[in-house]
């Protein structure tokens, strides 16, 4: 099978797609990545051929912060498909351009999802509060953007109404755990759990040693903090500085997709920007995160309790899921002594650590290769009937 891999090029979306691509290539399929320059190094390490977006389309359209550029995604995928002639598209949950291209090309499209289901459940979960989850708003917004991109592409109006199934494509692959979904919530047909699908470039031993030396010099227990986007909200830095100044912990802060670092000179904070996080989490006792999929799954897969400080997008939904599952504590909104106190309480809480360890054991048993199984089954028909 000839597969065109067309996810967003940011690591949180690219890396799990590469994990599946590596397995598909091992099984004898041909996989080609359509990605911008950010994806080049990871694709080379994964030994997946890459077609650069630059020159055939707008590379910005494949950035997570511009995920809504569905028309530009569609155009780049269609130009690539003209020569590649793929049998299947494998894309990200926010790439509505790939959904449009699959329709025009008349090929299956499998969507790599995040840790939890973003939109409304098929049934159940009647007690779930809409705010801060906002499932209905998120689903309707996605369908609106899909319809807009469809119109911009000049495609004929659909005879059937747009529904969530439009966004699911041939199948949607969730990377989380059943306990992270709302109790009683029934996932729509075609949505499947496939395990974390963890992959990242191997860490440079010299860089790991440098970080370890810096942490050893401070000598305090470490917290791995992974910053996401603030979506126009307050920066997490005032709270980080409060939590790690004069307290019992030090932090190694991954900047991720956030802006410029603002650590206080008095804070025990080491700032990094790395294409990997595994060795840093293994060195740490807690994971402090805005609650995006990559650090949540990386932390839980290693049995680390979480401290969550959501801002926008899917962060409140995933944060609420982690709190409900008993694997996370909430980081205070205001700087002050409470920030450090929450970290100390989370580290000392045996129930939190036990639940995180339980989920780690379950996630390790959830076979990420199931994603490749489902991709292989997609051309035969609707994955809605697969269990």
Clarify whether residues 115 and 74 are in a common domain: yes
pLDDT, tens only, 269-327: 999 999 999 999 999 999 999 999 999 999 999 999 999 999 878 899 999 999 999 99
- Asked whether the predicted pLDDT for residue 198 surpasses 70, the reply is yes
Give mean pLDDT, residues 344-352. Answer: 96
Clarify whether residues 192 and 231 are in a common domain: no
pTM of the entire structure? 0.94
Clarify whether residues 191 and 334 are in a common domain: no
Clarify whether residues 213 and 156 are in a common domain: no
pLDDT, tens only, 112-139: 999 999 999 999 988 898 888 899 999 9
* Residue 301 CB coordination number (10 Å): 21
CB 98 within 8 A of CB 75: no
Domain containing 281: what range?
205-365
pLDDT confidence bin for 35, thresholds 50/70/90: very high
Mean pLDDT of all residues in the chain? Answer: 93
pLDDT computed for residue 201 by the predictor: 97
Clarify whether residues 95 and 211 are in a common domain: no
- Asked whether the predicted pLDDT for residue 29 surpasses 90, the reply is yes
Clarify whether residues 338 and 241 are in a common domain: yes
Give mean pLDDT, residues 203-228. Answer: 96
Clarify whether residues 300 and 376 are in a common domain: no
Clarify whether residues 342 and 354 are in a common domain: yes
- Asked whether the predicted pLDDT for residue 244 surpasses 70, the reply is yes
Number of domains forming the structure of the chain? 2
Give mean pLDDT, residues 42-69. Answer: 91
pLDDT computed for residue 367 by the predictor: 74
pLDDT, tens only, 217-239: 999 999 999 988 766 667 889 99
Residue 251 belongs to domain with CATH number: 3.40.50.2000
Secondary structure, 3-state, the chain: CEEEEECCCCHHHHHHHHHHHHHHHHCCCEEEEEECHHHHHHHHHHCCEEEECECCECHHHHCHHHCCCHHHHHHHHHHHHHHHCCCEEEEECCCHHHHHHHHHHCCCEEEECCCCCCCCCCECCCCCCHHHHCHHHHHHHHHHHHHHHHHHCCCCCCCCCCCHHHHHCCEEEECCCHHHCCCCCECCCCEEECCCCCCCCCCCHHHHHHHHHHHHHHCCCEEEEECCCCCCCCCCHHHHHHHCCCCCCEEEEECCCCCCCCCCCCCCEEEECCCCCHHHHHHCCEEEECCCHHHHHHHHHCCCCEEECCCCCCHHHHHHHHHHCCCEEECCCCCCHHHHHHHHHHHHCHHHHHHHHHHHHHHHHCCCCHHHHHHHHHHHCCHHHCC
Beta bridge partners, 250, equal 222
Clarify whether residues 162 and 218 are in a common domain: no
Give mean pLDDT, residues 51-61. Answer: 89
pLDDT computed for residue 232 by the predictor: 63
171 phi, psi to nearest 5 deg? 180, 145
pLDDT computed for residue 72 by the predictor: 95
C-alpha closest to that of 107 among 384, 385, 375, 386? 375
- Asked whether the predicted pLDDT for residue 368 surpasses 80, the reply is no
Clarify whether residues 105 and 145 are in a common domain: yes
Clarify whether residues 160 and 232 are in a common domain: no
pLDDT computed for residue 231 by the predictor: 65
Clarify whether residues 74 and 221 are in a common domain: no
Instruction: Select the more confidently predicted residue: 335 or 345.
Output: 345
pLDDT computed for residue 133 by the predictor: 83
- Asked whether the predicted pLDDT for residue 18 surpasses 90, the reply is yes
Give mean pLDDT, residues 380-386. Answer: 77
């Amino acid at each position: 099978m000839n597969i065109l891999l067309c996810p967003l090029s940011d690591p949180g979306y690219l890396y799990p797609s590469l994990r599946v691509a590596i397995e598909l290539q091992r099984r004898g399929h041909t996989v080609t990545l359509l990605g911008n320059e950010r994806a080049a190094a990871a694709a080379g390490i994964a030994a997946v051929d890459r077609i650069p977006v630059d020159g055939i389309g707008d590379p910005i359209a494949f950035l997570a912060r511009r995920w809504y550029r569905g028309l530009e995604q569609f155009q780049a995928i269609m130009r690539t498909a003209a020569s590649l002639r793929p049998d299947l598209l494998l894309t990200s949950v926010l790439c509505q351009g790939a959904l449009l291209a699959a329709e025009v090309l008349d090929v299956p499209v499998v969507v790599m999802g995040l840790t939890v289901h973003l939109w409304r459940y098929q049934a159940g979960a009647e007690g779930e509060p809409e705010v801060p989850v906002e499932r209905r708003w998120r689903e309707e917004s996605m369908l609106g953007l899909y319809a807009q991109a469809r119109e911009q592409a000049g495609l004929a109006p659909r005879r059937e109404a747009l529904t969530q199934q439009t966004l699911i494509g041939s199948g949607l692959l969730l990377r989380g755990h059943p306990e992270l979904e709302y109790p009683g919530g029934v996932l729509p047909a075609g949505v499947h759990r496939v395990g974390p699908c963890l992959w990242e470039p191997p860490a440079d031993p010299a860089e790991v040693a440098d970080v370890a030396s810096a942490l050893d010099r401070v000598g305090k227990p470490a917290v791995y903090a992974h910053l996401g986007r603030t979506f126009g909200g307050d920066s997490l830095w005032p709270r980080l500085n409060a939590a790690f100044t004069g307290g019992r912990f030090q932090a190694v802060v991954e900047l991720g997709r956030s802006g410029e670092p603002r650590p206080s000179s008095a804070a025990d904070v080491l700032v990094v920007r790395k294409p990997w996080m595994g060795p840093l989490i293994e060195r740490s006792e807690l994971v402090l995160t805005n609650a995006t999929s990559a650090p949540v799954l990386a932390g839980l897969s290693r049995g680390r309790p979480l401290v969550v400080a959501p801002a926008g997008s899917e962060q409140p939904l995933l944060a609420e899921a982690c709190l409900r599952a008993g694997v996370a504590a909430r980081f205070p909104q205001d700087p002050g002594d409470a920030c450090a106190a929450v970290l100390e309480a989370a580290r000392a809480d045996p129930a939190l650590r036990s639940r995180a360890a339980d989920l780690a054991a379950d996630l390790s048993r959830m076979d990420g290769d199931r994603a490749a199984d489902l991709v292989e089954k997609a051309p035969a028909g609707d994955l809605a009937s697969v269990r």
